Structure 1
Amino acid sequence: MKVSVILCVYDEERFIDKAISSILNQSLDDFELIVVNDGSTDSTLDIINSYDDDRIRLIDQKNIGLGASRNKAMKLARGEYVAFLDGDDWFCSDALEIAYSEAKSKDTDITIFQIKYFDDETGQFSDNDWFKLNSFDESFDDRVFTPDECRDFLFDLSVNACQKIYRNEFLRNSSAKFVEGIFFEDMPFFFEIFLKAKRISIIRKHLYYHRKHSKSITDIIDCDYLDTVPAGQELMRRFIDNGFYDDYKFDLLAYKINGPRFALSQIVDKCKEPLFNLIREDYLKIRDSKYYDDFLNELGPVKKKFFLDVIRSKSYDEFISIDD
């Protein structure tokens, strides 16, 4: 079997039909579609069951979250390569054929392709630099490269798990897993799996469509963004545990500070104080760790000031009263 597509869904009755149809109608037909219904409470399961296609493998379970569901499905995947699809998105009709052919012909561990945004409200399609792979210049086209060649722009890359096709054997041997129990499960997984890869390629074609709508987690800065803190903690741990920390610490520490820093400035008002408290708890642990001096020495002035102002403030009100 050439490809296993993993589709984990929770209450996606509005969009699940298009997601499934986009896989079943692929020009490449040697695949399995592993659908994980993660405790949906709407008609999602009924829609899934309405399909009579032996390429679909259904896992119906109590809700355990996206990260845990993906990890469960990865263990069951039988394809030579693995791809991910979100329940509100869809693949173009020849996506698997193009991605598989590229990965197979170049013997890659990971192949990355372009994503196009679709605004569900306006019906308009659009691009952004992340999804268009603009961080890769023309020297990366039509060849295999290594993570080390991306050192200068690693943290500018899209962490979206659905934007790649992965060699299944490589996934298993890497032992990389999605973070469980939080949002932003893609982020630590991406950096670990990318830095463990030996052979990577890109495809400058839009193979995947990401739907932006009122419930899109990445498009609404609400209390789900409290999870930027544990996601950043897990990212730091994986860099340290896998021996990546020393090589990347300058950009890693900036990235770790910038995520919660941006979220705190943009998050809805009711979530600002809880997010600040989580950030401060994290920074106090860093202050008492052997990595504290690295933060002081490696951070630029704006991020360093944020880091120290959070540590010095006993409350969110005190923090926002500090003069710029």
Structure 2
Amino acid sequence: MKNSVGMENNTQVRVFVFSGLTDNDQLILFLFFFFLMVYLVTILGNIGLIILVLVASNLHTPMYYFLSCLSAVDFFYSTSITPKMLSDLISLRKTISFNGCAAQFLFFAGLAGTEVFLLSSMSYDRYTAICHPLHYVSIMTKGKCFSLASLSFFMGFFQSVVQTSCLFSLQFCGSNLIDHFYCDVLPMLQLSCSKTLHCNILTILSVGSCGLYSLSTILASYSLIFTTILHIKSSKGRQKAFSTCSSHLVCVSILYVSVFLTYLHSPSSALDKQDKVTSVFYTVMTPMLNPLIYSLRNQEVKRAIMQAIQHISHVIQIT
């Protein structure tokens, strides 16, 4: 499908066309309503968790401060991809402008990077809480939590701006068909008619350094956490200590496994159906799963939800 919108080979492409999620017309309506439900649950889950952390006094701790930041990131992260994907599922022409594609990639990459750094900050918070419980309050002050969250957003969007500037300074003068359902670096590099070596190297360095820093921080934190837990004599104490980390570990595992399955291959290799499935998982499903995992596996969140429901029921009865 070369030059789908009539672009000449020597003309800079101004409109891109997505190949989309599927070519099977029988799946389109099912996928549309399924992902619409996923997106609605994502909105309700993440915004609900943010409100819950704000109003529930027992959740005014560093752990839930970072969780509310993570929920905000997940909400905007999903919103940068899912609405466009939904509209493309029921559209005849799955197009996006050059500037629209750049904006989508900027926010997608920026929010993805921010989430990775936030997960690192959350692992440091859990390390401090379990390994240095007596000094936890003095170490994880409001100022420090704000600084760690701000640094996560800054670093996430810094690497995104660098990648976006490099990627969209390339020439796109051949095919305008992006073999994906959103603007991502690998399919975009395949379309460019410029030399892409410097962007390939920059992408590897940017993604690699972010991933390596985050993963090494998380692994180091949990190595120390597990060592501390093993030295706790009470089995009940060990279980309680580990339960405070389990939700975070599940979220980290889901994100990193799906990302590694997608990006651990040559940048020049074509995306296949498996790549699209894993991309759907970490762009659409993970932002929905994170608040659900923390809600279902965390006793304090469950307690706050029940108290909120009881309060709302009491208010309704009075009125």
TM-score range, shorter chain: under 0.3
Instruction: Please give the TM-score of this superposition, normalised by the length of structure 2.
Output: 0.24
Asked which structure has the greater RCO (Cα within 8 Å, sep 6+), the reply is 2
